Chains A and B, each alone.
Chain A
């Protein structure tokens, strides 16, 4: 075996190890980003084309095989819309009352102005330990690191963690690396939401640091509390389960993400908003 390892082969092995170390060091020092950005910029048109092709195939498949199930889903959605319209009607009266109270207290109601940039998802990170995807727009469209990605319904999808000229990487809320300050809409309990990927609850979020005496109900809506990164009032998810954490002094809740991340085609990046 040893005699089959020629000098050139040995050099190649050393080169591979050195290259690996070099990539690690440059990425840690954030000096080798240009190489990654160049490769991603070159790959973006190929990814966009492949993604568009896959979408076309999916649409054709859905048209052929999922027509009946779509009809049933449509009927269910219509029922849901009528129920929501009823909710909106009752909310209208509450909102009017709220506005009157604001005027009474001489408080001006402040509205956050969002500016969006829409982008299509062109590829996903091919790791089982990370939840992130690439979109086909980048700094040339005003997208940069630290912006929030949402669905068309204002559901949080994730955060832009890397951006190139014509691409950007969005790390989703399912990834354990993101922490979002959140509040339970119905009760006002505050906590921090993070992806439960690392804890073995794939596809769910975990809301930590809830008060011990908090009363949590299934399907309670969890919203962003608002920060310099996340605008206030974006929907993060719905409570599916709750329990005490390992310390026994705080509660945590498991949430189902509001955004359907398995079926994500297009996202909207909030490029600017009123932070007041």
Chain B
């Protein structure tokens, strides 16, 4: 059926890999908006999608991963995320810089990836919080410690699962595992 496309086996594997990343993104988005919003942990709604986006970007590098990060954050934003327009810039740039940092200074292992995920997630949530502080109806400053920090910390519980899944998908079409 697809013979006339003249794609190589490697290209087919590339399509499969990015389709799986897309599917994983959709599943995590649904988990975040349908399930986790109804099951707050210690009174906060968890946000695992930014962590997945950073994980994929670190795994796939700043160029391919960067394109994915921009598309994924744009999709999240258009799906109705609160302050999603800010996340398009912060999450995408954060993910790209994390990928560059991991390749240039750190290693492509779990701990550096986890630190980058934590940092990007914290910066993204903090910037949104700053806008929430400024714009009416302003939120109370105490919510930073009471809601924001637990949200970021507890969302990091998804990091090992995301990392393992991304590592598994990232192996498709690659001979030497990073």
**Interface residue ranges, A against B (CB under 8 Å):** 1, 3-6, 8-9, 12-13, 15-17, 19-21, 23-24, 27, 35-36, 38-40, 43, 46-47, 50-51, 54, 122-130, 133-134, 162, 169, 176-177, 194, 197-200, 202
Contacts and interface: CB of A to CB of B under 8 A. Distances in A.
A16 B70 contact: yes
Contacts of A35: 78
A16 B79 contact: no
A124 B80 contact: no
Contacts of B16: none
**The 9 A-B residue pairs with the shortest CB-CB distance in the complex, in nearest-first order:** A124-B37, A20-B89, A127-B82, A16-B92, A176-B137, A39-B78, A12-B66, A4-B104, A20-B88
Contacts of A13: 66, 92-93, 96-97
B84 interface: yes
A178 to B, nearest CB: 10
A13 B83 CA distance: 19
Nearest to A39: B78
A188 B96 CA distance: 58
10 contacts: A12-B62, A16-B96, A24-B85, A47-B30, A50-B34, A54-B34, A126-B32, A128-B143, A134-B33, A134-B80
B105 interface: yes
Interface in B69-110: 69-70, 73-75, 77-86, 88-90, 92-93, 96-97, 100-101, 103-105
Interface string B5-38: 0000000000000000000001001101111111
Contacts of A27: 85
A198 B138 contact: yes
Contacts of A126: 32-33, 36-37, 45, 47, 49, 81-82
Contacts of B104: 1, 3-4
From B63, B77, B97, B148, name the one whose CB has the most chain A CB atoms within 10 angstroms: B77
B128 to A, nearest CB: 7
Contacts of A39: 75, 78-79
A37 to B, nearest CB: 9
Interface string B125-142: 000110010000111101
Contacts of B129: 129
A200 B79 contact: no
A129 B82 contact: yes
A24 to B, nearest CB: 4
A83 B78 CA distance: 49
B44 interface: yes
A213 B86 CA distance: 45
Contacts of A169: 80
Given A124-B37, A126-B33, A40 B88 contact: no
B164 interface: no
Contacts of B78: 35-36, 38-40
Contacts of B157: none
A4 B92 contact: no
A125 B37 contact: yes
Given A54-B38, A129-B129, 15 more contacts: A1-B105, A4-B103, A16-B89, A16-B96, A19-B74, A23-B74, A40-B80, A123-B34, A124-B45, A127-B81, A127-B82, A127-B128, A129-B139, A133-B37, A198-B140
Given A9-B100, A40-B80, A127-B81, A200 B37 contact: no
A197 B96 CA distance: 34
B67 interface: yes
Q: Which of A3, A126, A133, A194 has the most CB of B within 10 A?
A: A126
Contacts of A198: 137-140
